[in-house]
Amino acid sequence: KNEVEQSPQNLTAQEGEFITINCSYSVGISALHWLQQHPGGGIVSLFMLSSGKKKHGRLIATINIQEKHSSLHITASHPRDSAVYICAVGGEYGNKLVFGAGTILRVKS
Amino acid sequence: DTEVTQTPKHLVMGMTNKKSLKCEQHMGHRAMYWYKQKAKKPPELMFVYSYEKLSINESVPSRFSPECPNSSLLNLHLHALQPEDSALYLCASSQVGTSNEKLFFGSGTQLSVL
């Protein structure tokens, strides 16, 4: 079993839909990261959180430390949200992150 | 300036070539990272430099040689690579190198080894 599991692996949505991507982890952590990677390579850090909830524009990230689970929500999805979303956790390994396999999101117009 | 700049964006090299990848940041970050990413896979950590000293080497083959000449620059020297080393090489930086800091990534160098 991987230490960080993401679901779903692939997700196709219509423009405007509410999207949820889930991340479960089995290790102790000090922080969980949500990353976005568009085709062509560059990775952008969306959120880093260790408790509660964070919001930035149409993106919301939540974490439940007791349940070892985090969700990334996208409200009013748009085709430009199409990307790979990666969950990564850090803590037990110093400054090494353990990455999930990623969720490929496609938003159709 | 919140950018991590990587050059070149693309690189094609033969197995006998020597080349270098370059990464630069001017955010005052003291931790810099090299990651390797194969298609449709998450990034894999290769090296971490903390305060210009190598702090993590993830058992990377010696044909990859990192260098941190100063706090703003990180190089990855490549020599005698194999075709399976073809991948996207990503540089990242963070403030001091703990896991609860935001990471800033460059756009990567797409490397093809022929």
pLDDT digits (tens, 9 = 90+) for B14-23: 998 999 999 9
Decide the pairing of beta strands B10-13 and B109-113: parallel
pLDDT for the residue A95:
67
pLDDT for A94 equals 60
Segment B42-53 shows an average pLDDT of: 94
What are the tokens at B4? Answer: 């991590």
The pLDDT of residue B85 is above 80: yes
Whether A46 has a pLDDT exceeding 80, the answer reads yes
Residues of B in contact with A43 (CB under 8 A): 43, 90, 92, 103, 105
Give one DSSP letter per residue of A34-99, joined into a string: EEEE-TTS-EEEEEEESSEEEEETTEEEEEETTTTEEEEEESS--GGG-EEEEEEEEETTTT-EEE
Query: How many angstroms separate the Cα of B51 from the Cα of each of A8, A75, A79, B30, B34?
Result: 38, 40, 40, 5, 15
> Mean pLDDT lowest for which of A12-26, A48-62, B22-36, B93-107?
B93-107
The percent of residues above 70 in pLDDT, for chain A, comes to: 95
Residue A63 clears pLDDT 70, i.e. is over it:
yes
Segment B20-37, tens digit of pLDDT: 999 999 999 999 999 999
Place of tokens 């679901």: A7
Res. A93: pLDDT tops 60? no
Count Cβ atoms below 10 Å from residue B93 Cβ, excluding itself: 28
Chain B interface, best mutation among A10, A34, A43, A96, by max B CB count within 10 A:
A43
User: In percent, how much of chain B has pLDDT > 90?
Assistant: 85
B91-110 pLDDT, tens digit per residue, is 999 998 777 788 999 999 99
User: Taking the CA of residue B96 as centre, how many other CA atoms within 13 Å lie in the half-sphere pointing to its CB?
Assistant: 2
Q: How far from B77 is each of A68, B13, B63, B67, CA to CA, in Å?
A: 39, 12, 8, 8
Nearest CA in chain A to B107: A42
Residue of B nearest to A40 (CA): B107
Q: Look at A95 and B50 and tell me if their CB atoms are within 8 Å.
A: yes
Nearest alpha-carbon partner for A91 in B43, B100, B24: B100
> Nearest CA to CA, how far is B63 from chain A (Å)?
22
Contacts of A30 in chain B (CB under 8 A): 98-100
Task: Supply φ then ψ for residue B83, to 5 degrees.
Answer: -55, -35
Contact (Cβ atoms closer than 8 angstroms) between residue B31 and residue B94: yes
